[in-house]
A and B are shown apart, each in its own frame.
Chain A
Amino acid sequence: MTGHNYLTRHRYLTGTSRYLLLTVGAVVMILPFLYMLSTSFKGQQYVLTTPPQWIPHPATASNYTDALRSDHFALYFLNSVIVAIATTVLSLLLSSMMAYAFARFEFPGRELLFRILLLGLMIPAMMLIIPQFVLAKYLGLLNSLDGLVIFYVAASLSLNTFLLRGFFEAIPVELEQAMEIDGAGSVRRYWRLILPLARPALATATIFTFLASWDEYPWALTIISIPSRQTLPLGIALFQGQNSTLWGLVFAASVVAVVPVIVVFLVFQRYFVQGLTAGAVKG
């Protein structure tokens, strides 16, 4: 890196205008969230006023207490937590096993099987929703959290296996050979060596899988019709009435659903970037 040259001087001169533009953009990005937060503290008569209230006045926490006290909200939250955790654990287990096989073994059909698996990255999820519904009905999985979990796991396998395989391949093979000489079988090598060393990749896969199942809406909408099995996205969409939507309530529930996501995102930011850019930059 050279210190003073044409580019840095140029950048210095245009620094202010660049910040200005970026700031305008950032405000546009964040403003809807702040307005949502504000509305979640407004009474129903203040949610759609002209001029709009930027700061809720009078501010009330009643939307939050109403949402939390409503029949099923706690249950929605619990269902979402159960589904997201079960999906993540199962998906990581199954996809890391597949990734290990693809990364460390030669066997007939290896390339073919991997390509079939990659098909899962190319098929839009919505294209499968009709036959998947028929299948779930046949298997008796309608209105069950199991039906959510196993289809979410299946949908996540391609990306996770792809991601983990790349990482596993980069783990020096000598480490495994040393273990092998000491008499460790493949299961032990996978569990004791590969998985612990692949922690960053597993973290990336965990975040993506967890968030995808936490946020998923179309499949849940399709197979869940009884309140006791609904997840947060379904519950929030339900707060939106047909004619008069209780916006304060909708956004209080939304804030409760979004805050964990934002916290997870802020804490694990770098894993997001790693996962997103895996495979993308090399083109």
Chain B
Amino acid sequence: MLTSTDRPRNDAASAVTGVRPASSGRTRRRRSATPYLFLAPGFALFLALIIYPMVRAFQMSFYDWNIVAGASSKFIGWANYVQAYHDPIFWRSLINSGVYMAMTVPPQIILGLLVATGLRAKAPGRALYRVLFYLPVVTSWVVVSLLFRYLFADVGLVNYVLHGLNLTNGSTSWLGGRWTAMVAVSALGVWKGVGWSMVIFLAALQGVPRELEEAAAVDGAGRWRRFTTVTLHSIWPSVVFVTVMLVIGGFNVFTSVLLMTGGGPADQTQVLLTYMYKQAFSYLDFGYGSAIAVLLTLLVFVLSVIQLRIFRQPRIAGTAS
């Protein structure tokens, strides 16, 4: 559009109402400052507090940053990244973040799908179940992290129940070792996240035409086949969306690890963000912390792009037949 006016835009609205607004003499108004005035306060704040720090994070990662007021910081090139490369705890944090992602994403998708399909039909009690599954999602990370730390305590409920079911001898020190602690933290992640994927899948399932599934049933397709060929196919964009968001979320795990293990014992359970936080705010190494943050951002970005490529074509089970 060459001429800008401050009259209301028509395209989207007329697409909704189906009515083309009558053209009037007002269309040809001169370039106006109005939209910019509406944008200015919010956008200025956004630029100053989000975009500027974003640029700053990249810049800081190349400095030996000095936090003391007035003191100058030294440009050290890639040194912070080299440090990360040679830092075993950085690699351990990266692996732990990956493990957390791998242990939380598939269960959240599968359980979310399962619950959503179960709650899809209008049946009594449906609303109540939906609320119960969604409650953990709205509860603060601080509260549920402390709660799970309590449940996974040495003489906590989890050990008691597992012992009662004869699955363990009931004396597992969950938060005392690297892998058991990762299991506990991941259990929290799944428990808190299932409701979220469930809601997204439920909404997506509303858009799947029943007729398609019925047609497949008439054609003799079994439950599983109907689910993969018709249902899953129809909600595929939502599956992709949930997967990408959960992978991003998995690498952004922070509060639960910080409050359940603090990254300990002896940095065994550090994830990328808790390690970044420790470098920055315990050791005041802002440059190194920034480098870790930048690496995490790049990693998440690359993973998202790869996933979107892989998922572009919906996988249809049994297409060969």
Contact = CB atoms under 8 A, between A and B. Distances in A.
A107 B37 CA distance: 12
B204 to A, nearest CB: 5
A131 B136 contact: no
B168 interface: no
Interface residues of A, number: 110
A237 B142 contact: yes
Contacts of B259: 237, 240
A180 interface: yes
A117 interface: yes
A69 interface: no
Contact of B50 (A103, A128, A254): A128
Given A105-B6, A107-B4, A277-B200, A94 B41 contact: yes
Interface in A230-276: 233, 236-237, 240, 245, 247, 250-251, 254, 257-258, 261-262, 265-266, 269, 272-273, 276
B54 A283 contact: no
B14 interface: yes
B76 interface: no
B191 interface: yes
Nearest to A247: B150
B6 to A, nearest CB: 6
B43 A172 contact: no
Given A154-B50, A157-B46, A262-B135, A254 B199 contact: no
Contact of B142 (A50, A124, A236): A236
A130 B58 CA distance: 11
Interface string A94-129: 110110111111111010010011011001101111
Interface in A61-117: 94-95, 97-98, 100-108, 110, 113, 116-117
Contact of A273 (B32, B203, B289): B203
A98 B39 contact: yes
A226 interface: no
A189 B9 CA distance: 13
Contact of B210 (A1, A18, A25, A49): A1
B281 A215 contact: no
A22 B135 contact: no
Interface in A158-200: 158, 161, 169-174, 176-177, 180, 186, 189-190
Interface residues of B, number: 111
Contact of A170 (B12, B149, B277): B12
A18 B260 CA distance: 34
B143 A254 contact: yes
Nearest to A123: B54
A203 interface: no
A81 to B, nearest CB: 15
B237 interface: yes
A127 B297 contact: yes
B142 A233 contact: yes
A79 B129 CA distance: 34
A134 interface: yes
A1 B122 CA distance: 12
Contacts of A119: 50-51, 54
A39 B148 CA distance: 13
A58 interface: no
B50 A155 contact: yes
A29 B199 contact: no
Interface string B104-135: 00000001001100110101010001011111
A101 B252 CA distance: 33
A25 B116 CA distance: 12
Contact of B140 (A28, A217, A247): A217
Given A97-B38, A250-B146, 16 more contacts: A22-B115, A26-B132, A95-B42, A101-B39, A106-B4, A119-B50, A130-B280, A134-B56, A158-B50, A186-B34, A233-B143, A236-B143, A265-B138, A266-B131, A276-B200, A276-B203
22 contacts: A18-B118, A49-B155, A52-B157, A98-B39, A105-B38, A106-B4, A106-B9, A113-B39, A123-B297, A127-B54, A127-B293, A127-B294, A127-B297, A154-B46, A173-B14, A174-B21, A177-B24, A233-B140, A237-B142, A240-B146, A266-B131, A280-B241
Interface of B: 1, 4-10, 12-14, 16-17, 19, 21, 24, 26, 32, 34-36, 38-39, 41-43, 45-46, 48-54, 56-57, 60, 67, 111, 114-115, 118-119, 121, 123, 125, 129, 131-136, 138-144, 146-151, 153, 155-157, 160, 191, 194-196, 199-200, 203-204, 207, 210, 213-214, 217-218, 223, 237-238, 240-242, 248, 251-252, 254-255, 259, 273, 276-277, 280-281, 286, 289-290, 293-294, 296-297, 300
10 closest A-B pairs (Cβ-Cβ)?
A283-B237, A94-B42, A215-B140, A173-B13, A154-B49, A131-B53, A131-B56, A105-B35, A169-B12, A101-B38
